[in-house]
């Protein structure tokens, strides 16, 4: 069954949806959209370092994305303006990665595959990485769900409940780094943030509880992945951007439906 590249692509998209659904909900609730975008941009530097050090791209991307999140969190505690810090670090990491790749000897790299994704080229090994990473993220969020939710609602409430809000923020940073690492192959660095935000924002219009929103975001993400692949197949459009367009279409529909309700 997995010999069909479209089936592999569909499984990869659904696996990604499992991770971006609950995590994207926290990104929306905490207004971390720019943080997710910055972490995704830094992934290109991880690609360059992985090629220079001859290690798996997923490992290099994970390391740089995690370092990016920790660095931004540390700078935030030092009084630096978060939006300016994210802008400087993300664009610098993206530019440095694009420049560094050109110095990798004997390697010709199709940067568009890393920037916009190449889901149709997903292999069985990639599927194992995507589903393994998605399972790790889902398990982590389920394990810390009540603590993460309390810290998101109010830092004061979290402190009164004995919850370290900064530690829960680091949990989300780790989860975000894993998602960026596994999603790079599917939708690319420039579209990862869109898949984190749009499904969760679409589900919020109809959800009546945090749990319903997280599950709804998973459904929207899976629908967008499969719908985008169908559109890419029939209209000969790029697969990664088509998935994001499908997610945006679902967002419009759910927003209108939510307003009528």
170-204 residue pLDDT tens: 889 889 988 988 888 788 887 888 899 999 999 99
Is the CB of residue 186 less than 8 Å from the CB of residue 236? no
Tokens for 117, please give them.
């994704």
Residue 1 parent element (H or E): none
Question: Are the beta carbons of 69 and 175 closer than 8 angstroms?
Answer: no
Q: What is the pLDDT of residue 145?
A: 95
- Report if pTM > 0.85: yes
Compute, in degrees rounded to 10, the torsion defined by CA atoms 125, 192, 30, 255: -120
- For 125, the token pair is 């090994």
Nearest by Cα to 145 from 29, 39, 247, 15: 29
Question: Mean pLDDT for the chain?
Answer: 86
**Which of 82-86, 116-120, 210-214 shows the lowest mean pLDDT across its residues?**
82-86
Give the C-alpha separation, 187 to 182, whole Å: 10
What is the predicted pLDDT for the residue at 76?
61
Structure tokens at 11: 């499984």
6 against 226, higher pLDDT: 226
Whole-angstrom Cα distance, residue 225 to residue 148? 27
Nearest to 192 by CA among 254, 129, 244: 244
Burial class (CB in 10 A: 0-12, 13-18, 19+), 20: buried
Structure tokens at 112: 């568009």
The total of other beta-carbon atoms located within 10 Å of residue 78's CB is 7
- Which of 41-45, 52-56, 183-187, 201-205 has the highest mean predicted lDDT (pLDDT)? 201-205
- The answer, yes or no, to whether residue 110 has pLDDT greater than 70, is no
Task: Please determine, for residue 62, whether its predicted confidence score (pLDDT) is greater than 70.
Answer: yes
Q: Which of 247, 228, 235, 250 is nearest to 20 (CA)?
A: 247
DSSP-based helix, strand, coil % in the chain, nearest 5: 80, 0, 20
- Name all domains of the chain by residue range, CATH numbers in brackets: 5-190 (1.10.3470.10)
């Amino acid at each position: 069954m997995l010999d069909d590249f479209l089936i592999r692509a569909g499984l990869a998209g659904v696996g990604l949806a499992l991770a971006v659904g609950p995590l994207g909900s926290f990104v929306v609730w905490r207004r971390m959209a720019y943080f997710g975008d910055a972490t995704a941009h830094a992934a290109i530097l991880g690609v360059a370092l992985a090629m220079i050090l001859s290690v798996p791209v997923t490992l290099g991307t994970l390391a740089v994305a995690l370092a990016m999140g920790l660095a931004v969190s540390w700078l935030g505690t030092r009084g630096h303006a978060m939006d300016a810090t994210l802008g400087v670090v993300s664009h610098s990491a993206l530019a440095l990665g694009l420049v560094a790749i050109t110095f990798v000897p004997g390697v010709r790299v199709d940067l568009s595959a890393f920037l916009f994704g190449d889901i149709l080229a997903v292999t069985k090994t990639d599927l194992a990485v995507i589903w393994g990473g998605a399972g790790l993220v889902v398990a982590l969020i389920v394990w810390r769900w009540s603590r993460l939710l309390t810290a998101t609602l109010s830092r004061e409430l979290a402190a009164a409940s004995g919850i370290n809000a900064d530690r829960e923020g680091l949990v989300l940073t780790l989860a975000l780094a894993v998602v960026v690492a596994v999603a790079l192959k599917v939708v690319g660095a420039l579209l990862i943030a869109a898949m984190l935000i749009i499904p969760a924002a679409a589900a919020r219009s109809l959800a009546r509880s945090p749990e319903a929103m997280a599950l709804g975001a998973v459904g929207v993400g899976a629908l967008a992945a499969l719908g985008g692949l169908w559109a890419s197949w029939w209209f000969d459009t790029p697969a990664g951007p088509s998935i994001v367009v499908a997610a945006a279409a679902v967002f419009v529909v759910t927003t209108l439906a939510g307003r009528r309700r």
